[in-house]
Amino acid sequence: MADVHDHLREFWNRDAETYDRAASHSVSDPLEEAAWRAALRDAIPETGARVLDVGAGTGSLSLLAAELGYRVTALDLSPGMLARARAKAADRGLEIEFVEGPATAPPPGPFDAVIERHLVWTTPDPVAAMSAWREVVVPGGRLVLFEGVWGSTAPVDRVKGALAELLRTAMGTPPDHHAPYPPEVLAQLPLGAMPSPAPLLRAVRDAGWRGLRVKRLRDVEWAGRLREPWPLGWLESMARYALAADAPA
């Protein structure tokens, strides 16, 4: 596992240089930013709660959560990504604790909630990671996974994806990442291509979390469609959802 973690760290360190140029990564669009604030407030209603943001990257959710009054600790494997997050937090005058490390080794907490956005697909052992998160929350603490249906194999979704790629190429829009994952890395990611939330639901349950519930993030989807010119926003739109669960009391 050390080898794949090294590959992942190197990939995201390099990606830190270009990651925020994608508005969906940086959450730089005002409407999308407001939609994500609402999603966070809905998922973690208690202001002042201690929140661990796993796979925080350049800090998009950490910053929004801190602005809402949560006490945030941002965990990420990549020092390059965390450096960007620290700079943005300093610019906004926000107090966030930053911790470098893998998803399977969270700081001790205790936390009231653990959140992540678009992380689990790139986790070599998602059940071990989510089990470790359960150990650092208070009894009854909350898990919130903000995810999307990235790996749909439905013919209409495959056609839409291909058309979106052609359109972005014609527009001269650079890719969202500096490079794709190598095949040997993808082969070690159990949730690397989820066609539906079902594999994630099983992993969360296997990690010992209880009371699973799912809610579509329709406002986030809507904001993303409006952010891009037509028809690109429609072509790239996909189902996004928040999967919440609780640690045993």
User: What is the architecture of the domain spanning 2-152+177-231+239-246?
Assistant: 3-Layer(aba) Sandwich (3.40)
> How far apart are the C-alpha atoms of 133 and 104, rounded to whole Å?
8
- pLDDT(78) > 90: yes
Model pTM?
Answer: 0.95
What's the gap between Cα 194 and its chain centre?
14
Average pLDDT value for residue range 138-165: 91
Statement: residue 1 has pLDDT above 80: no
Give mean pLDDT, residues 233-243. Answer: 93
Q: Which residue has the tokens 């969360």?
A: 204
Average pLDDT of the chain to the nearest whole number: 95
Task: Write down the pLDDT at residue 15.
Answer: 96
Percent over 90 (pLDDT), the chain: 84
Domain positions in the chain = 2-152+177-231+239-246
Alpha helices in 54-146 (DSSP H): 60-67, 79-92, 126-135
Split at pLDDT 50, 70, 90, the class of 86 is very high
pLDDT confidence of 153, banded at 50, 70, 90? confident
Q: Which segments of the chain does DSSP mark as H helices, in order?
A: 2-15, 23-26, 30-43, 60-67, 79-92, 126-135, 155-171, 183-186, 198-206, 218-227, 232-236
pLDDT at 193 over 90: no
- CA 152/CA 69 separation, integer angstroms: 36
Of 130-134, 199-203, 208-212, 225-229, the one with minimum mean pLDDT is 225-229
- Residues 225 and 235: their CA atoms lie apart, in Å, by 9
The confidence band for 3, taking pLDDT boundaries of 50, 70 and 90, is: confident
pLDDT tens-digit profile of 33-76?
999 999 999 999 899 999 999 999 999 999 999 999 999 999 99
Residues counted in the chain = 249
| Beta carbons within 8 Å of 78's beta carbon, 6+ residues apart | 8, 9, 12, 13, 15, 16, 57, 100
Smallest CA-to-CA distance from 72 within 47, 94, 43, 52 is with: 52
Eight-class DSSP state of 226 = H
| pLDDT exceeds 70 at position 2 | no
Average pLDDT over residues 153-168: 88
pLDDT digits (tens, 9 = 90+) for 103-140: 999 999 999 999 999 999 999 999 999 999 999 999 99
Taking residues 221-242, what's their average pLDDT? 93
